[in-house]
Chain A
């Protein structure tokens, strides 16, 4: 069963994740939170896909479903040609060898009671690597890749600095030799002076090990620097997607434009076109285009249900906006 052509390593089709809210024995009315609401994505081999959006846009839930930690309500996830949707727990071990994750907070993402060696050795043993020498080799190998010394393996996380911890986190993600790595805000919790080290390391690893990345970030500078393609999410949906250059030099969706404009420019005190208001409550999303209450370009047409479709306006450039034609 091979449903994708050769260079697509992962495809997500119409994925949705809904959570029940409230309810229970005496709990009142049960409502559904549409965290992810119909997402289509494609990740090509060796590519870094940047996933951009503000808090509550559903990017983290999306990542969890990709890893099999969150069962999707509907939709399909096709990994390397195999449909793995539906099962959140059963094939966890199989999926572990295919996709891994690097976490945002290097402090909470390492078990404080385990040495680096235990952290790296336990997954190997779990996945059937039992020979002492092979384990040692693979640990040494992965530590070398992330720039740590082998003798540091016997230490506990608290003996490392933040940057080093993130290297350990990366080593843990690499130890099973996965093909895809999900990077969840990989540098935002690090000291500014350390970020470049990790960014450079991740880019190197991508080349040398032939990895594919899905990177979640709200830091547009990092996204621009690292991504090959970018998807912008808002209220559980992708509102604009395309190559990095397209998104950063020719953004079409008003939300993408606003995001870029919101970054303080160190060289000028002027400010771009800004949006006001806050992200709506996902439990009670606006009708029609979810962005219309904050959109400086909103017209009556934007308020009419259903939500606008994600339409191609150029090759590899899709935008979810009814008025996109008028902006050109």
Chain B
């Protein structure tokens, strides 16, 4: 088991390296520099000397291959470099922003799992019923709404009209502040999870071994309990793992709208300001997080499903 986990983790290393290379190459050709970004609010540009000096300080004056060499050498020492903007190590910048994003994406996933999976289950156990039709129409609608639009509407409705929740910000990081952005972020994965769960349960319902279970004289509830749930879980788990990636990606939009101080808004900001080391670090961190979650999912699947070899 342990060696399985280690092996799965080792397998992520090439991906992380490839991501590092890809991101580096992409952002080495981006137009504009951090120095030029300092003038974009119209308060006047930096003077040419300072700009030049800045580019030199940040190593942007070197040719691309030299920069890449330095970058890889840094990475090898687990050093992500210095942020242009904060003039602090990227790692400490990321550390500040990681927790809110984790909070938000976990909350969104919890929301979508806790509601989506049971909903899909119930829908599948009563296919064609009112609850099935309503939840699936709801699910397909949930997948079709632009996210920031939904967030904005929720903000107006729940914060302004009803006054139940604060409309924005991290506040004390508590549930009151977390709820709206997490729900806005969680609607799409909820819809998808409900659909996946329903499809998975329906598929397993028709499996031969479920017929065997019925032929044993089991009640439907027992069939679900003893035979259906675990099998459906494997499929649902895989979907959850992949959804984490989507959720973290979409968090960019939600964080910006709700002024949530996470990695997503940091990333957008850093792209806008050409704070390239932070961009690279943030993407790497997001990728690593995604890979970690999916490794965890793989391990869980391997525990549930003995057919997956982990020796």
List the interface of chain A (C-beta within 8 A of B).
25-26
**How far is B7's CA from A140's CA once the two chains are assembled, in angstroms?**
59
Contacts of B238 in A (CB 8 A): none
Q: Is B88 an interface residue (CB 8 A)?
A: no
- Shortest Cβ gap from A101 to chain B (Å): 31
Q: Is B11 an interface residue (CB 8 A)?
A: yes
Contacts of A25 in B (CB 8 A): 11
- Shortest Cβ gap from B271 to chain A (Å): 34
**How far is B7's CA from A26's CA once the two chains are assembled, in angstroms?**
7
Smallest CB-CB separation from A27: which chain B residue?
B7
| A-B contact list, 4 entries, CB within 8 Å | A25-B11, A26-B7, A26-B10, A26-B11
Per-residue contact bits, chain B 1-13, to A (CB 8 Å; 1 contact, 0 not): 0000001001100
Smallest CB-CB separation from A25: which chain B residue?
B11
**How far is B11's CA from A26's CA once the two chains are assembled, in angstroms?**
8
Contacts of B10 in A (CB 8 A): 26
Contacts of A26 in B (CB 8 A): 7, 10-11
Chain A to chain B: the 4 pairs with minimum beta-carbon distance, closest first: A26-B7, A26-B10, A26-B11, A25-B11
Smallest CB-CB separation from B8: which chain A residue?
A26
Smallest CB-CB separation from A26: which chain B residue?
B7
**How far is B246's CA from A216's CA once the two chains are assembled, in angstroms?**
51
**How far is B7's CA from A25's CA once the two chains are assembled, in angstroms?**
10
- Shortest Cβ gap from B308 to chain A (Å): 14
**How far is B19's CA from A228's CA once the two chains are assembled, in angstroms?**
63
Contacts of B7 in A (CB 8 A): 26
Smallest CB-CB separation from B311: which chain A residue?
A28
Smallest CB-CB separation from A22: which chain B residue?
B309
- Shortest Cβ gap from B1 to chain A (Å): 15
- Shortest Cβ gap from B196 to chain A (Å): 28
**How far is B10's CA from A25's CA once the two chains are assembled, in angstroms?**
10
**How far is B13's CA from A25's CA once the two chains are assembled, in angstroms?**
12
- Shortest Cβ gap from A24 to chain B (Å): 10
**How far is B12's CA from A25's CA once the two chains are assembled, in angstroms?**
12
- Shortest Cβ gap from A163 to chain B (Å): 28
**How far is B15's CA from A25's CA once the two chains are assembled, in angstroms?**
14
**How far is B7's CA from A186's CA once the two chains are assembled, in angstroms?**
45
List CB contacts (< 8 Å) of B1-54 with chain A: 7, 10-11
- Shortest Cβ gap from A30 to chain B (Å): 15
- Shortest Cβ gap from A87 to chain B (Å): 34
Contacts of B11 in A (CB 8 A): 25-26
- Shortest Cβ gap from B18 to chain A (Å): 14
- Shortest Cβ gap from B222 to chain A (Å): 33
List CB contacts (< 8 Å) of B93-120 with chain A: none
- Shortest Cβ gap from B7 to chain A (Å): 5
- Shortest Cβ gap from B127 to chain A (Å): 28
- Shortest Cβ gap from B16 to chain A (Å): 15
- Shortest Cβ gap from B137 to chain A (Å): 33
**How far is B8's CA from A26's CA once the two chains are assembled, in angstroms?**
9
**How far is B161's CA from A273's CA once the two chains are assembled, in angstroms?**
86
**How far is B4's CA from A26's CA once the two chains are assembled, in angstroms?**
10
- Shortest Cβ gap from A324 to chain B (Å): 41
List CB contacts (< 8 Å) of B60-85 with chain A: none
**How far is B11's CA from A25's CA once the two chains are assembled, in angstroms?**
9
- Shortest Cβ gap from B146 to chain A (Å): 38
**How far is B10's CA from A26's CA once the two chains are assembled, in angstroms?**
8
**How far is B1's CA from A22's CA once the two chains are assembled, in angstroms?**
18
- Shortest Cβ gap from A241 to chain B (Å): 39
- Shortest Cβ gap from A286 to chain B (Å): 24
- Shortest Cβ gap from A29 to chain B (Å): 11
**How far is B12's CA from A26's CA once the two chains are assembled, in angstroms?**
11
- Shortest Cβ gap from A69 to chain B (Å): 29
**How far is B310's CA from A26's CA once the two chains are assembled, in angstroms?**
12
Smallest CB-CB separation from B11: which chain A residue?
A26
**How far is B7's CA from A96's CA once the two chains are assembled, in angstroms?**
45
**How far is B14's CA from A94's CA once the two chains are assembled, in angstroms?**
43
**How far is B13's CA from A26's CA once the two chains are assembled, in angstroms?**
12
**How far is B268's CA from A48's CA once the two chains are assembled, in angstroms?**
73
- Shortest Cβ gap from B13 to chain A (Å): 10
- Shortest Cβ gap from A277 to chain B (Å): 24
Smallest CB-CB separation from B14: which chain A residue?
A25
- Shortest Cβ gap from A109 to chain B (Å): 25
- Shortest Cβ gap from B226 to chain A (Å): 29
**How far is B309's CA from A300's CA once the two chains are assembled, in angstroms?**
36
**How far is B8's CA from A306's CA once the two chains are assembled, in angstroms?**
41
**How far is B7's CA from A313's CA once the two chains are assembled, in angstroms?**
55
- Shortest Cβ gap from A85 to chain B (Å): 35
Per-residue contact bits, chain B 201-239, to A (CB 8 Å; 1 contact, 0 not): 000000000000000000000000000000000000000
**How far is B11's CA from A62's CA once the two chains are assembled, in angstroms?**
36
- Shortest Cβ gap from B302 to chain A (Å): 15
Smallest CB-CB separation from A28: which chain B residue?
B311
**How far is B7's CA from A128's CA once the two chains are assembled, in angstroms?**
52
**How far is B259's CA from A108's CA once the two chains are assembled, in angstroms?**
57
**How far is B118's CA from A200's CA once the two chains are assembled, in angstroms?**
58
**How far is B7's CA from A104's CA once the two chains are assembled, in angstroms?**
41
Per-residue contact bits, chain B 241-262, to A (CB 8 Å; 1 contact, 0 not): 0000000000000000000000
